[in-house]
Structure 1
Amino acid sequence: MPVFGEIGYYEPWWMQIAKALAIFLIVFNMVPLALLADRKLLGRFQNRYGPTRVGPFGALQAVADIGKLLFKQQFVPADSRKWLFIVAPVISMITAAATLAIIPFSDTVDIFGTKTGLYGVDPSIGILFAFAFGGIAFYGLMLGGWSSNSKYSFLGSMRSAAQLISYEIAQGLSIIGVIMMVGSLSLVDIVQWQEEHFWLFGPQFVGWLIFLVAGFAETNRPPFDLPEAEAELVGGYFTEYGGGRFAAFFAAEYLNMVVVSLLFTTIFWGGWDVPFWDQPNWIEPIVVLLKMWVFIFFFIWVRATLPRLRYDQLMSFGWKILLPLATLNALVTAVLVVVLD
C-alpha cells in the first residue's frame, strides 16, 4: 500500500526503499573520496605529492587502504570487555549513517510517475534527529576506549566525552536563531524558506560560525582532535583497534565529516538552491554535493593550517566563548524576530 508521510503526498514503499538505498550508496561513496582528497591535498599543502602509486594518479589508494584493513586479522585484547569492544565501532558507524536519512538533496521530483522528495524522511523534529544520533555516537567512542582496558584508550574516551558534550551544547544553541526565523525544525522547510527569502548564512553569520567550529569538535577533526592526539595518547580511544574495526572508526570519522558538511549546506547555505537560477530538479542533488565538497575542502585546509589546541584551551573556548556567544545570538535573534514580525 502507498505510505502517507509528513511530506504531504503518497509514496509507495518501494520508492522509499529505493531512494534510501540510492542516497546511502552515493553519500557513503564520498568517504573514500574524502579520504583520498585529504591525503592528496595535505600532500600539496606540505609540498609533496601524496598517494601516486595505486591507480591513476593514486586515485585508488583509499580503496586499497580500506581493503587492506578489512582483510587483516581481527584482534581483541585479552583483558578487554570483548562484546563492548566489538560493539563500539558498530555504534559509531550506525549513528554516522543514520543522519543521512534527513538530509534533503532535492525538492519534490517525479520519478516513474511518482512524486517523491530526494530525502529519506522529513520528520517534524528535523534537526533534533541529527542531534539525537550525535548524542548516541558519543557512546561508541566512550565504550571503545573504556572496553579496551588501556590507559591511553581510556584517557582518549574521557576526552571525547567531555569534548562532545561541551561543544554539542553550543552547536545546538547556534541553530535556535535559524529555527526562530524559519518557524520549523524540518530541514526541507529550512531549505524552502531560503529559496523564497535568502540564505541564512547572512543573517545568522554568528550562528553559522559557532556551528562550524562546533562541527570540527564534534567530528574530532584538527585542531580539535584531542580524543586521538597521537602525540600524547598514541591513538586515543582506538589505540587497541586494528583491522576492520579500526577501519569502521576511521570511516565513521570521515562519514561524520561528510554529514556535517551536508548540514552546513542545508541549514545555512541554501541546500539545493542557487540564487537567481530556476535550476531543473536533476541539478539540485549535484548542487548539494558541490557545496558539501567546499566544506570538506575547508576541513582539510584547516587541518593543514592550524596546530592542535591544548586541552584546557579546548574546554575554555567551548564553555567561556562559544556557549555565551551562542546564547547571545539566540537572544538577539528572538528580539529581532518579535520586533520585525
Structure 2
Amino acid sequence: MTEFFQSLGMNYEWAWFVATISGILLIALPVMLAVALVIYMDRKVLGAVMMRRGPNVVGPFGILQSFADGLKVFLQETIIPSAANKGIFLLAPIITFTVALLAWAVIPFDAGVVLADINVGLLYVLAISSLGVYGITMAGWASNSKYPFFSAMRAAAQMISYEVSIGFILVCVVLYANSFNLTEIVEGQRGHGFGIVNGYYFNLLLFPMWVVFFISSLAETQRAPFDLTEAESELVAGYQTEYSSMSFALFWLGEYANILLMCSLNTLLFFGGWLPPIDWAPLYAVPGFIWFLLKTIFFFFMFSWIWATVPRYRYDQLMRLGWKVFLPMSLLFVALTSGWLMLTRYGGAA
C-alpha cells in the first residue's frame, strides 16, 4: 500500500503514514460494523431460543436496531458521579475500547490480508488481551461505588485465572505449528487430519485443548455462564453501573469486539482460519475471507446459544473450574503434546 501512495507522488514518509492510517481504518471500521451486526444476531438468537421475536421494528427485519441503540446512547447525557475520580472514570472505557481494537492488528483474514504479519503475533494477542482488565479495574475503582468495585475485583481474578490456562493451550498449538506467527499456524493446519481435514481440532491431543480454549474464551470475555462481573442479582450491572451515554457504549463495543476476537482465535488456532474445512480443490474457489467469516460467525452463534441455555455458575465454581480443572489439564496436555512430538517429529532425539 505504501508503494501505491508513492506512485501518487508522495514521498516515502508520507506514503507510509497514509498507508498505515488507511490499513488501521480498513480493519477498525469493518470490525465496528461487525460488532453492530453481531449484537443484532445475538438478540435474534436469544429471541428465537426464548420463542419471541427479538428486534423486528427498526429497519427491515430489525437490522438497524443496533444503530438506533447507538444513536440513542450518543444523544444521552453523560453523568459522572460526584464522588468519582473523574479522570480515571472517563479514561477506563477509552482504554477498554482501544485495547479491544489493538489485537486485531495481527489477525489474518486471508492469506496476506493482515495489517501486521509479525513473527510473534500470538504473543502479541495474548499480551494485548491481558490489558483489558485494566480498563475494567479502573472503572470499578473510579466509580467510588461498592458494586462496581466488587465487579472489578471479580473481573481481575476471573481474567487472570483463565489466561493462565489459555497460555498453556497456546503452547500446545505453537508446538505443533512450530511458530508464533498466526499465518504460519493456519498454514500448518492444511491437510492436518489424514491429509484431508484442515484444522487442528481433528487431532486427538488438540481437540480437548480446543474445548478448554472455547470455554476459557467465554470466561475471558465475561460471557454467560461466566458473567459473574455483572450478575444482576448481586451486582446490578457490575463495573458499568455508574456509566451512561457514550462512556457506557465504549464498554459495550469493547466487550463485543473482544468476543469477536475470541471467536476469530478459535477459528485461526483450531479450525483452519481462511482454509476450507476439507482440503479439496473445488472448495478453494470460495475466497478465504468468506470461510474465515463463516467460521467466526458459527462460533459467535455458539456463544449466543450457550448464553440462552446454560445457567450462570457460582463464583466459587468458576474459580474452581479454572484453577483445579483447566490449569492441571492444560499442563498435562503440554507434557503429552511435547512428548508425542519428540517421539514422532524428532525421532526421540534429546
State the TM-score, normalized to the length of structure 2.
0.89
| Matching of residue 286 in structure 1 with residue 327 in structure 2 | no
Deviates more, 1:298-307 or 1:169-178: 169-178
| Matching of residue 255 in structure 1 with residue 257 in structure 2 | yes
Change (3 A) 1:135 1:230: same
Alignment partners' CA distance in 1, 2:234 and 2:202: 40
User: Which residue does 2:8 correspond to in 1?
Assistant: none
* Aligned residue type for 1:199: G
User: Which residue does 2:199 correspond to in 1?
Assistant: 199
Deviates more, 1:277-286 or 1:306-315: 277-286
- Assess if the C-alpha contact under 8 Å between 1:20 and 1:119 holds in 2: no
User: Which residue does 2:170 correspond to in 1?
Assistant: 175
Q: Deviations over 1:288-335 (max 9, x none)?
A: 111100000000000001011000000001000000011011110000
User: Which residue does 1:126 correspond to in 2?
Assistant: 121
- Structure 1 gaps of 5+ residues are 4-11, 108-116
Q: 2:94 aligns with which of 90, 93, 98?
A: 90
Alignment partners' CA distance in 2, 1:213 and 1:276: 28
User: Which residue does 2:266 correspond to in 1?
Assistant: 264
* Aligned residue type for 2:242: E
* Aligned residue type for 2:35: V
Alignment partners' CA distance in 2, 1:281 and 1:260: 27
* Aligned residue type for 2:143: S
RMSD: 1.6
* Aligned residue type for 1:255: A
* Aligned residue type for 1:55: G
User: Which residue does 1:114 correspond to in 2?
Assistant: none
- Assess if the C-alpha contact under 8 Å between 2:191 and 2:279 holds in 1: no
Could you say what secondary structure the match of 1:29 adopts? helix
- Assess if the C-alpha contact under 8 Å between 1:35 and 1:254 holds in 2: yes
User: Which residue does 1:189 correspond to in 2?
Assistant: 184
Alignment partners' CA distance in 1, 2:284 and 2:344: 34
Q: 1:217 aligns with which of 198, 216, 219?
A: 219
- Assess if the C-alpha contact under 8 Å between 2:240 and 2:248 holds in 1: yes
| Matching of residue 29 in structure 1 with residue 33 in structure 2 | yes
* Aligned residue type for 1:187: L
Change (3 A) 1:17 1:285: farther
User: Which residue does 2:229 correspond to in 1?
Assistant: 227
Alignment partners' CA distance in 2, 1:146 and 1:83: 12
The Cα shift of 1:282 comes to 7.3
Could you say what secondary structure the match of 2:226 adopts? coil
| Matching of residue 277 in structure 1 with residue 280 in structure 2 | yes
The Cα shift of 1:105 comes to 1.0
Alignment partners' CA distance in 2, 1:2 and 1:36: 39
Q: Deviations over 1:265-285 (max 9, x none)?
A: 011100110123345687111
* Aligned residue type for 2:117: D
Q: 2:61 aligns with which of 48, 57, 60?
A: 57
User: Which residue does 1:326 correspond to in 2?
Assistant: 330
Aligned residue pairs, count: 324
The Cα shift of 1:16 comes to 4.7
User: Which residue does 2:12 correspond to in 1?
Assistant: none
Change (3 A) 1:28 1:277: farther
* Aligned residue type for 1:130: V
Could you say what secondary structure the match of 2:228 adopts? coil
Q: Deviations over 1:207-232 (max 9, x none)?
A: 11111111001111000000111111
The structure whose residues are more often strand, as a share, is 1
Q: Deviations over 1:62-107 (max 9, x none)?
A: 1111110111111110000110000000111111111111111111
| Matching of residue 75 in structure 1 with residue 70 in structure 2 | no
Could you say what secondary structure the match of 2:272 adopts? coil
Could you say what secondary structure the match of 2:330 adopts? helix
State the TM-score, normalized to the length of structure 1.
0.91
User: Which residue does 1:156 correspond to in 2?
Assistant: 151
* Aligned residue type for 1:166: S
The Cα shift of 1:50 comes to 0.9
Alignment partners' CA distance in 1, 2:33 and 2:272: 23
Q: 2:138 aligns with which of 123, 137, 143?
A: 143
- Structure 2 gaps of 5+ residues are 5-14, 193-197, 346-350
